[in-house]
Amino acid sequence: MVKDIISLVRPQQWLKNVFIFLPIFFSRKLGDGACLSSALIAFVIYCLVAGSIYCLNDICDRESDRLHPTKCRRPIASGIVSVGAGYGIMALLLVLAIALTFVYDSTVRHVLLINVGIYFILNIAYCFWLKHIALVDVFVISIGFVLRVLAGGVVTGIWISPWIILMTFLLALFLSFAKRRDDVLIYERTGDKMRLNIARYNLEFINMAITLVGVIVVVCYIMYTVSPEVIERMGTSNLYLTTIWVLAGILRYLQLTVVDKNSGSPTKILIHDRFIHVCIVGWVLSFGVLIYF
């Protein structure tokens, strides 16, 4: 039962919350213990809130999940965890998340609660309504990533460059379209609608959207690295050299989803694909060396 409850809140998906640490990395404050501890607490808060949302999502989607080849094994869809227990776990996680915000001073706490509140309400709307509207669904997911970055800035007091916000949104949009491709493939092969809005997508459109957004991500990243404001703030004009890792990562992701027809799940790919691991480590190390040394 404990294993099923853990599966319900999907801890493997909490990897997305590392976006909270981006403001610290880009502001060259990785060595600041106070900033790191503040961001870590915000990370835990977002994990708890995300877990509660996954509970609600699985409760709402339990009927459609039973038709999905893999989602049918989720605890609520399979009947292992009852709907009532799902609501109880959701409530407990929310209480714990709110309690944790009291480690911050009142000003930061209030702003963080607004941030997390927007994230929660947006996801509630997504569970009940917005996920059924094509395009709106992927945009809502992308906004959630931006809110994570903003939360990191709020709790650490770090100013966030508009470039970081823009690239976070675009990267999340790219990953969201790639993930949606899974449902389109299942629909076109079997006719089973994993989502009510899936008929508003097709493989040709999804492939075009993934390619278009992927190109925009790379172009924006190049513009960011050669921006005079960024060069002055970072103290180096060589950030453009890190573009190779971004381009390689985007192309690899496209290869996995379009050519190899693997799952477009960002979390699965980030956890299991070694090429992506090399790209991420290479980018972090090269970018880090350029701005920290």
Neighbouring residues of 225: CB distance < 8 A, sequence distance ≥ 6: 239, 240, 242, 243
Q: What separation in angstroms does the CA of 52 have from each of 58, 91, 125, 149, 203?
A: 10, 7, 14, 20, 32
Q: What is the CATH number of the domain that holds 137?
A: 1.10.357.140
Residue where a domain stops, chosen among 133, 159, 185: 159
Do 190 and 49 reside in the same domain of the chain? no
Do 206 and 153 reside in the same domain of the chain? no
> 228-275 pLDDT, tens per residue?
999 999 999 999 999 999 999 999 988 887 776 665 567 777 778 899
pLDDT at 35: 95
Question: Rounded distance, CA 286 to CA 271, Å?
Answer: 21
pLDDT at 205: 87
Do 152 and 172 reside in the same domain of the chain? no
Do 179 and 135 reside in the same domain of the chain? no
Cβ(45)–Cβ(14) below 8 Å: no
Residue where a domain stops, chosen among 103, 128, 159: 159
Do 175 and 137 reside in the same domain of the chain? no
Domain extent at residue 99: 1-159
Do 10 and 154 reside in the same domain of the chain? yes
Share of the chain above pLDDT 70, in %: 94
Residue where a domain stops, chosen among 142, 159, 176: 159
Do 52 and 139 reside in the same domain of the chain? yes
Do 240 and 183 reside in the same domain of the chain? yes
Do 63 and 30 reside in the same domain of the chain? yes
Do 290 and 150 reside in the same domain of the chain? no
The pair of three-digit structure tokens given for residue 77, joined into one six-digit string: 């869809």
Do 99 and 118 reside in the same domain of the chain? yes
Do 167 and 155 reside in the same domain of the chain? no
Number of domains in the chain: 2
Per-residue H/E/C for the chain: CHHHHHHHHCHHHHHHHHHHHHHHHHCCCCCCHHHHHHHHHHHHHHHHHHHHHHHHHHHHCHHHHCCCCCHHHCCCCCCCCCHHHHHHHHHHHHHHHHHHHHHCCHHHHHHHHHHHHHHHHHHHHHHHCHHHCCCHHHHHHHHHHHHHHHHHHHHHCCCCCHHHHHHHHHHHHHHHHHHHHHHHHHHHHHCCCCCCCHHHCCHHHHHHHHHHHHHHHHHHHHHHHCCHHHHHHHCCCCHHHHHHHHHHHHHHHHHHHHHCCCCCCHHHHHHHCHHHHHHHHHHHHHHHHHHHC
pLDDT at 194: 61
At residue 158 the predicted structure's pLDDT band, cuts being 50, 70 and 90, is: very high
The stretch 2-6 carries a mean pLDDT of 78
The pair of three-digit structure tokens given for residue 104, joined into one six-digit string: 């911050």
